[in-house]
Structure 1
């Protein structure tokens, strides 16, 4: 199923250059998946449709793709800011956010066991970590209607 991206934080798309991801990759010491880079450069701050994903036996919603460039007044939606907020609360090294759920949980890349092909996990408000997909591509392909 093809994913459509709808405005969420802004009324329209706000594309960025792929080079704007390099400071994040350097700061985190990772190489982000190419599929993610292409998507976030085009659709940062937007919402996917379909948006439902499976977490074990349950379902959740991919609400929005976090931004690379902070939006004034909405800095809490920027990946760097989210990581800065989560890290002091014992977020394990190798876990980096890319999306949010409506309930304030975060979709994250998990580089802990696969530095070249990170999995996708859901990090709850209590910082429990739940596997979602073995790759970002698998995650996108698993999105469905509720």
Structure 2
């Protein structure tokens, strides 16, 4: 079971609705539940598999609403024209890659890995996006520890 080291204050449903309205985003129910419970944090365990070809990565930290560091709104602004439309960066790895949530059909609720080293000049190019899980809960269940330590 994943534990999240809380790094930010709790938020309210009202703040969450204000965030969605201000940023014109419809967050998924499971992701909203995650934000209401944790609102930013570092998971333990933190390793996840990207794909057979891409290998493994480490989840550094989940972004949060109204956070001093790793603020979800600021990170969304940074990646606005870099990610395909309908994705927001909900976390990152130590190499500058993003773990993304699909906020529009057909990717709604799905979690993807965005590889910045394969970034395209065309933001809607999905060639550097790797499907990880059907939703945030399934993604959290994928995280594992390094057995070699």
| TM-score normalised over the length of structure 1 | 0.79
List runs of 5+ in structure 2 lacking aligned partners: 120-127
* TM-superposition CA deviations, 1:120-139 (whole Å, max 9, x none): 01112243212111222211
The match for 2:80 is: 87
The match for 1:121 is: 112
The match for 1:3 is: 2
The match for 2:57 is: 60
Decide whether the 8 Å contact of 1:51 with 1:144 is kept in 2. Answer: yes
The match for 1:43 is: 38
2:20 pairs with 22, 25, 28, which one?
Answer: 25
Between the aligned partners of 1:41 and 1:134, the Cα distance in structure 2 is 20
The match for 2:134 is: 134
Shift of 1:93: 1.0
* TM-superposition CA deviations, 1:34-64 (whole Å, max 9, x none): 3322222232231011111111121111111
Aligned residues: 134
Shift of 1:111: 3.4
Between the aligned partners of 1:28 and 1:121, the Cα distance in structure 2 is 20
Between the aligned partners of 1:84 and 1:17, the Cα distance in structure 2 is 22
Decide whether the 8 Å contact of 1:52 with 1:145 is kept in 2. Answer: yes
Q: Please give the residue correspondences for 1:64-83 in structure 2 after superposition, counting only pairs within 5 Å.
A: 64-71=61-68, 74=69, 77-83=70-76
